[in-house]
A and B are shown apart, each in its own frame.
Chain A
Amino acid sequence: MSSTNKKWFSLNLNSKHKQGSSSCGCGKTSGGCNSHKEPNTELSEEEFFDAAVDASIGEERHKDGFDQVFDVKMSRRSAFKKLTASLLIGAGAVNTSCSFLAGDESKEKAQIDWEEQFKGNYKLMNNDEKKATVDRLVRSYQLRTGKTISMSSTNAEDDVLFGYAFNISKCQGYMDCVNACVEENNQDRNSQMQYIRIHEMEDGKGFNFNEADDNYYHEVPAEGHFYMGTQCFHCDNPPCVDVCPVQATWREDDGLVVIDYDWCVGCRYCMAACPYDGRRFNWSKPEVPESEINKNQHYLGNRLRKKGVMEKCTFCVQRSRAGKNPACVEACPTGARIFGNLLDPNSTIRWVLENKKVFRLKEDLGTEPKFWYFMD
Chain B
Amino acid sequence: MRRLKVFKRLVIDSLDVITHGSKKYHLWMALLTLIMLIGMYCYSIQIEQGLSVTGMTDRVSWGLYISNFTFLVGVAAAAVMLVMPTYVLKDIDFKQAVLIGEGLAVAALIMCLAFVVADMGGPSVLWHMIPGIGVFNFPNSMLTWDVIVLNGYLFLNITIPFYILFRHYQGKKSKKSVYVPGAILSVFWAVAIHLVTAFLYQGLQARPFWNNALLGPRFLASAFAAGPALIIIVLAIIRTYTAFKIEDKTLKKIAMVVTVAAQINLIMLISELFKEFYAPTHHSESAYYLFFGLEGKTALLPWIWTAISMNVLATIILTFHKLRNNFKVLFFACFLLFVAIWIEKGFGLIVPGFIPGPYGKIAEYTPTGIEIGVTIGIWAMGAFVFTILARTAIKIETGELRYKKDK
Contact = CB atoms under 8 A, between A and B. Distances in A.
Contact of B357 (A277, A283, A285): A277
A299 to B, nearest CB: 17
A265 B129 contact: yes
B135 A124 contact: yes
Interface in B126-146: 126, 128-130, 132-137, 140-144
Contacts of B51: 266, 281, 283-284, 308
Contacts of B121: 264-268, 281-282, 307-310
Contact of A245 (B143, B205, B354): B143
B359 A230 contact: yes
Interface residues of B, number: 47
B120 A210 contact: no
A268 B205 CA distance: 16
**8 A-B pairs closest in CB distance:** A266-B121, A308-B121, A210-B360, A275-B206, A65-B133, A283-B52, A284-B52, A284-B50
Interface of B: 49-52, 56-58, 61-62, 116, 119-122, 124-126, 128-130, 132-137, 140-144, 147, 200-201, 203-207, 353-354, 356-361
Contact of B122 (A211, A265, A365): A265
A367 B62 CA distance: 23
A282 B129 contact: no
Contacts of B116: 267
**At the interface, is chain B mostly helix, strand, loop or mixed?**
loop
A220 interface: no
B204 A272 contact: yes
Nearest to B140: A242
B55 to A, nearest CB: 11
Given A246-B135, A273-B206, A366-B205, 10 more contacts: A245-B147, A267-B116, A272-B62, A274-B206, A275-B358, A277-B361, A281-B58, A284-B51, A284-B52, A308-B51
B205 to A, nearest CB: 5
Among A230, A275, A276, A309: residue with most chain B CB under 10 A: A275
Contact of A271 (B61, B144, B359): B61
Contacts, number: 144
A309 B123 CA distance: 11
A233 to B, nearest CB: 11
Contacts of B134: 65, 121, 246
Contact of A283 (B57, B353, B354, B358): B57
Interface residues of A, number: 55
Given A282-B50, A284-B52, A243 B132 contact: no
A65 B373 CA distance: 37
A199 B359 contact: yes
A267 B143 contact: yes
Contacts of B62: 268, 272
Given A246-B128, A308-B50, A365-B205, A267 B137 contact: no
